């Protein structure tokens, strides 16, 4: 799809209206003959979720845009195949207009360093008042001031909204999770989402240890939902979508219950020292060769 034909779909609504069925309207899933290249849904006044169309990249990632008084955080920048900045700028413009402001600093960070989460970075490099965080563990640690990576959880204040940044290497060495006290979401990246959880066999110990630290942290920080970066499961328990398909028929919802984090933690501990494929209703642990 050519960038000139990119269409931005900005959907505005408040979460309480969807309390009985979940916080989001249906996501673009490739089942229509055509769909916008991105879809933005607004969870609350200061929280946006952006999905990239599966028709532009089979990964169809989700990005999170969180606002505080002093700055905004964009978590991940897309998988490439279509410009992502127009959707981000549209949401920022709406927020600024509502707050009668001309600008707000933007931080572009990443759940981790795989390409489907940072291919849009170049779009933001020359954007005014914007900082793009590096992709290596030491760059992530330096930006968030994590002195003891990966053991230290640190706060990152957006201005009246202090996120908690949790190092979570395993799926990838620079992986982080973020707990947001405003929504009580755990932004879990590729460590946990409705899909195939890819665990390099040489990093299985790191993956298990990260789950232990996240579980220990969240035991005293109530999580309302686990919000990952992809959807690869169907609504049928334990059944995933075919790999790399461009249509996500009967797609699972994005959000997962907190109980799934504890279920995943227990599952990896039950494996001992060797990762094994393990099918669960909302996710599938999937070992992959060493990376």
Rounded mean pLDDT, 91-120: 98
> pLDDT tens for residues 112-161?
999 999 999 999 999 999 999 999 999 999 999 999 999 999 999 999 99
Segment 209-228 mean pLDDT: 98
Q: What percent of the chain has pLDDT over 70?
A: 93
> What global pTM score does this model have?
0.93
Q: 75 pairs with which residues across the strands?
A: 64, 109
Q: Report the alpha-carbon distance of residue 30 to residue 122 in Å, rounded.
A: 26
Backbone angles phi, psi at 212, to 5 degrees: -65, -45
**Cα gap 197→53, rounded to integer Å:** 21
- Two tokens at 170? 């395993």
Domain range holding 144? Answer: 3-288
Q: In a 10 Å sphere around its CB, with 0-12 CB exposed, 13-18 middle and 19+ buried, how is residue 6 labelled?
A: middle
What pLDDT does 7 receive?
37
Mean predicted confidence (pLDDT) in 6-20:
38
Return the pLDDT at 9.
42
Instruction: Look at the chain and report how many structural domains it folds into.
Output: 1
Question: pLDDT tens digit string along 258-283?
Answer: 999 999 999 999 999 999 999 999 99
pLDDT band of residue 21 (cuts 50, 70, 90) is low
Mean pLDDT throughout 79-98? Answer: 98
Residue 2 has pLDDT above 50, yes or no: no
Whole-number mean pLDDT of the chain?
A: 93
- Please tell me the predicted confidence (pLDDT) of residue 22: 78
Quickly state the pLDDT bin for 13 (edges 50, 70, 90). very low
**Per-residue confidence (pLDDT) for residue 211, from 0 to 100:** 98
Per DSSP, the residues of the chain read --GGG--EEEE---GGGGTTT-SSPPPP-S-SS---SEEEEEEETTEEEEEE-TTT-TT--EEEEEE-SS-EEEE----SSS--HHHHHHHHHHHHHHTT-S---EEEE-S-SSGGGTTTGGGTTTSTTEEE--SSHHHHHHHHT-SSTTT--EEEESSS-EEEEEE--SSSTT-EEEEETTTTEEEEETTSSSSEEEEEGGGHHHHHHHHHHHHHHHTTS--SEEEES---BBSSTT-BPPTT-S--TTBPPSEE-THHHHHHHHHHHHTTTS---EE-SS-EEEEE---
**Domain containing residue 103: CATH number:** 3.60.15.10
Summarised one tens digit per residue, pLDDT across range 173-186 is 999 999 999 999 99
Confidence band for 12, pLDDT divided at 50, 70 and 90: very low
């Amino acid at each position: 799809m050519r960038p000139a034909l990119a269409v931005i779909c900005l959907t505005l609504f408040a979460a309480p209206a969807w309390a009985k069925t979940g916080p989001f309207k249906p996501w673009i899933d490739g089942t229509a003959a055509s769909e916008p290249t991105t879809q933005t849904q607004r969870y609350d006044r200061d929280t946006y979720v952006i999905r990239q169309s599966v028709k532009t990249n089979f990964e169809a990632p989700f990005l999170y845009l969180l606002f505080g008084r002093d700055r905004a955080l964009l978590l991940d920048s897309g998988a490439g195949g279509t410009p992502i900045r127009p959707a981000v700028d549209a949401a920022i413009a709406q927020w600024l207009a509502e707050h009668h402001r001309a600008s707000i600093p933007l931080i572009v960070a990443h759940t981790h360093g795989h390409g489907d989460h940072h291919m849009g970075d170049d779009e933001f490099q020359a954007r005014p008042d914007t900082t793009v965080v590096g992709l290596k563990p030491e760059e992530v640690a330096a930006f968030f001031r994590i002195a003891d990576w990966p053991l230290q959880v640190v706060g990152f204040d957006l201005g009246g909204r202090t996120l908690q940044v949790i190092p979570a290497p395993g799926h990838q060495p620079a992986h982080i999770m973020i707990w947001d006290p405003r929504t009580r979401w755990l932004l879990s990246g590729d460590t946990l989402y409705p899909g195939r959880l890819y665990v390099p066999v040489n990093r299985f110990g790191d993956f298990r240890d990260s789950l232990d630290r996240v579980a220990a942290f969240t035991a005293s920080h109530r999580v309302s939902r686990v919000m990952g970066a992809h959807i690869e499961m169907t609504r049928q328990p334990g059944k995933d979508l075919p790999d790399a398909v461009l249509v996500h028929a009967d797609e699972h919802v994005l959000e997962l219950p907190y109980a799934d984090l504890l279920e995943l933690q227990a599952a990896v501990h039950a494996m001992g020292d060797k990762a094994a494929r393990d099918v669960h209703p909302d996710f599938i642990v999937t070992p992959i060769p060493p990376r």
